[in-house]
Structure 1
Amino acid sequence: MEAVIRFGTAGWRGVIGEDFTFANVRRLSVVLAHWLQTRYESPRVVIGYDTRFLSERFAEQSARVFARARVPVWLCQRDAPHPAISWAVVRRGAALGLNFTGSHNLPQYSGIKVIDERGGLVGDEVTRQWEADVTAYSNHSVITLTYDEQWVTPIDPRPDYLEQLARLVPPERLQRRLRVVVDPLYGSTREYLESYLTERTPMEVEPLHSFKDPYFGGYGPEATRENLQELIRFVRDGQFDLGLAMDGDGDRFGIVDRDGVYVQPEQVLCILYDYLLEGRGERGGVVRNIATTHLLDRIAQAHGQPVIQTPIGYKNAAPYLWRDDILVAVEESAGFTLRPHIPDKDGMLACLLATEVVAQTGEPLTAYWQKIVEKYGPLYQAKGHCACDEQALRQYQQWLHSPPTAIGPYGVRRVETLDGIKLYIDAETWLLVRMAGTEPLIRVYAESPHRDTARRLVQTAIRSIRGDDG
Structure 2
Amino acid sequence: MPELKILEVSMKPFPGMKPGTSGLRKATKTFMEEHYTEAFVQCILRAGLGDRLQGSTLVVGGDGRYYNNEALQKIIQISAANKVAKLYIGRNGIMSTPAVSCYIRKKKASGGIILTASHNPGGLDHDFGIKFNTCNGGPALENLTDKMFELSKSITSYLICPEIKVDVSKLCCVKLAVESSHSFEVEVVGSVDAYLELMKEIFDFQAIKQLISSGFQVTADALHGVMGPYVVKVLCNELGVPEANASHCNPLPDFGGGHPDPNLTYAHNLVEVMQKGVFDFGVAFDGDGDRNMILGKNGFFVNPSDSLAVIAANVQCIPYFQKHPPQGFARSMPTSSALDRVAEKTGHKFFVTPTGWKFFGNLMDAHVMSLCGEESFGTGSDHIREKDGMWACLAWLSILAHKKTSVENVVLQHWKAFGRNFYTRYDYENCESAKGDQLMSELEKLITADNFKGKTFTASGKSYKVKIGENFSYTDPVDKSVSKNQGLIITFEDNSRIIFRLSGTGVSGATIRMYIDSYEADQNNILADPQVQLKPLVEIALELSRLKEITGRTKPDVIT
**Is the counterpart of residue 276 in structure 1 residue 310 in structure 2?**
no
Judge which range, 442-451 or 366-375, deviates more. 442-451
Structure 2 gap segments, 5+ residues each: 1-11, 165-175, 178-183, 459-463, 474-485, 521-529, 550-560
Contact 2:467–2:491, Cα closer than 8 Å, also in 1: yes
Tell me, what secondary structure is at the counterpart of 2:538? helix
Work out whether residues 314 and 344 of structure 1, in 8 Å CA contact, stay in contact via their aligned partners in 2.
yes
Aligned match of 2:503 in 430, 433, 436?
436
Partner of 1:239: 278
Q: Is the 1:63–1:75 Cα contact (8 Å) retained in structure 2?
A: no
| Residues 200 and 151 (structure 1), Cα distance of their counterparts in 2 relative to 1, 3 Å cut | closer
Q: How does 1:89-128 map to 2 (within 5 A)?
A: 89-107=104-122, 108-128=126-146
CA contact 1:102–1:109 (8 Å) conserved in 2 = yes
8 Å CA contact 2:20–2:505 kept in 1: the answer is: yes
**More deviation, 91-100/442-451:** 442-451
Matching residue of 1:354: 396
Which residue number in structure 2 is paired with residue 365 of structure 1? 407
Alignment-derived partner of residue 457 in structure 1 = 537
**Equivalent residue for 1:292?**
335
Q: Structure 1 residues 468, 110: closer, same or farther in 2, change over 3 A?
A: closer
Distance 1:415-1:20 versus aligned 2 partners, 3 A rule? farther
The residue that corresponds to 2:375 in the other structure is 332
Partner of 2:482: none
- 1:67–1:223 distance in 2 versus 1, CA, 3 Å: same
Match of 1:230 in 2: 269
Inter-CA distance 356–54: structure 2 relative to 1 (3 Å threshold): same
8 A Cα contact 1:245 1:351, kept in partner: no
| Residue 146 of structure 1, aligned match among 155, 163, 180 | 163
Bigger mean CA deviation after superposition, 455-464 or 278-287: 278-287
Distance (Å, rounded) in 1 between the aligned partners of 2:35 and 2:374: 34
Distance apart, 1:464 and its partner CA = 2.4
Question: d(CA) in 2 for partners of 1:407 and 1:184?
Answer: 46
Q: What's the secondary structure of 2:312's corresponding residue?
A: helix
Q: 1:131 to 1:462 in 2, by over 3 A?
A: same
Distance in 1 (alpha carbons) for counterparts of 2:158 and 2:339: 51
State which drifts further: 200-209 or 360-369. 200-209
Residue 413 (structure 1) aligns with: 467
Q: Is the 8 A contact 2:90 2:188 kept in 1?
A: yes
Instruction: Determine the C-alpha separation between the residues in 2 that align with 1:56 and 1:126.
Output: 26
CA distance in 1, matches of 2:542, 2:238: 49
Residues 1:186 and 2:224 aligned together: yes
Separation (CA, whole Å) in 2 of partners of 1:37 and 1:125: 13
Question: How many Å separate the matches in 1 of 2:31 and 2:536?
Answer: 40
Pick which of 168-177 and 145-154 moved more.
145-154
Task: Kindly state the Cα deviation for residue 249 of structure 1 after the two structures are TM-superposed.
Answer: 0.3
Q: What is the alpha-carbon distance in structure 2 between the residues aligned to residue 445 and residue 197 of structure 1? A: 33
Shift of 1:85: 1.2
Kindly tell me: are residues 360 and 183 of structure 1, through their superposed partners in 2, closer, same or farther at Cα, counting changes over 3 Å? Answer: same
Q: CA deviation at 1:142?
A: 5.0
- Whether 1:7 aligns to 2:77 is no
- 1:236/1:461 Cα in 2 relative to 1: closer, same or farther (>3 Å)? closer
Q: Structure 2: which amino acid aligns with 1:463? A: E
Aligned residues of 2:496 and 2:518 also touching (Cα < 8 A): yes
Conserved 8 A contact 2:498-2:515? yes
Distance (Å, rounded) in 1 between the aligned partners of 2:400 and 2:41: 44
Deviations 1:416-451 (A, max 9, x none): 422222222125322222222234133222212355
Tell me whether 1:248 sits opposite 2:284 in the alignment: no
- Tell me if 1:73 matches 2:87: yes
SS in structure 2 at match of 1:145: coil
CA contact (8 A) 1:16 1:109 kept: yes
Secondary structure, in 3 states, of the residue corresponding to 1:422? Answer: strand
Contact 2:27–2:128 (CA under 8 A) maintained in structure 1: yes
2:149 is aligned to 131
Q: State the secondary structure of the residue aligned to 1:233.
A: helix
When the two structures are aligned, how many residues end up with a matched partner? 467
Contact kept? 1:98, 1:114, Cα under 8 Å:
yes
For 2:285, give the aligned amino acid. M
Question: Would the aligned equivalents of 2:465 and 2:492 in 1 still touch at CA under 8 Å?
Answer: yes
For residue 323 of structure 1, report the CA deviation from its aligned partner: 4.3
**Is residue 65 of structure 2 the alignment partner of residue 52 of structure 1?**
yes
How far did residue 94 of structure 1 move?
1.1
Taking the aligned partners of 1:45 and 1:407, their CA distance within structure 2 comes to: 55
Normalised by the length of structure 2, the TM-score is 0.78
Cα distance in 2 for residues equivalent to 1:306 and 1:227? 35
Give the CA deviation at 1:82.
0.8
Task: Map 1:202-213; keep pairs closer than 5 Å.
Answer: 202-205=240-243, 206-213=245-252
Partners of 2:81 and 2:160 within 8 A in 1:
no
Separation in 2 of the partners of 1:171 and 1:135?
50
After superposition, the C-alpha distances for 1:370-405 in whole angstroms (9 at most, x for unaligned) are 011111112211333554516424413414653633
- Which residue matches 2:546? 466
- Partner of 1:336, secondary structure, is strand
Q: Secondary structure at the match of 2:262?
A: coil
Is the Cα contact below 8 Å between 2:317 and 2:398 reproduced in 1?
no
* 1:189 partner letter: M
Distance 1:468-1:76 versus aligned 2 partners, 3 A rule: closer
Check the 8 A contact 2:277/2:299 in 1, yes or no.
no
8 Å contact from structure 1 (residues 431, 446) kept in 2: yes
Q: Once the 2 structures are TM-superposed, how far is the Cα of residue 19 of structure 1 from its aligned partner?
A: 4.8
Cα shift readout 1:115-147 (whole Å, capped 9, x = no counterpart) = 111110010111111111123334x75565134
SS at match of 2:98: helix
Q: Does 1:159 align with 2:177?
A: no
Report the residue type matching 2:449 in the other structure.
Answer: S
CA-based RMSD of the aligned residues comes to 2.5
Indicate the SS of the match to 1:326: coil
> C-alpha distance in 2, partners of 1:52/1:22?
19
1:17 alignment partner, SS class: helix
Structure 2 CA distance for aligned equivalents of residues 105 and 235 of structure 1: 24
Pick closer, same or farther for the CA change 1:278–1:109 going to 2, 3 Å.
same
Change (3 A) 1:467 1:335: closer
Matched AA of 2:24: W
Contact 1:287–1:328 (8 Å) recurs in 2: yes
Distance in 1 of aligned mates of 2:247 and 2:427: 32
CA distance in 2, matches of 1:8, 1:400: 26
Which one has a bigger Cα radius of gyration? Answer: 2
Per the normalisation by structure 1, the TM-score is 0.92
Query: Greater shift after overlay, 275-284 or 187-196?
Result: 275-284
- Secondary structure of 1:459 counterpart: helix
CA distance in 2, matches of 1:238, 1:345: 29
Instruction: Summarize deviations over 1:29-76 as a string: whole Å, max 9, x none.
Output: 223333435135631111111121111211111111001222122222
For 2:42, the equivalent position in structure 1 comes to 30
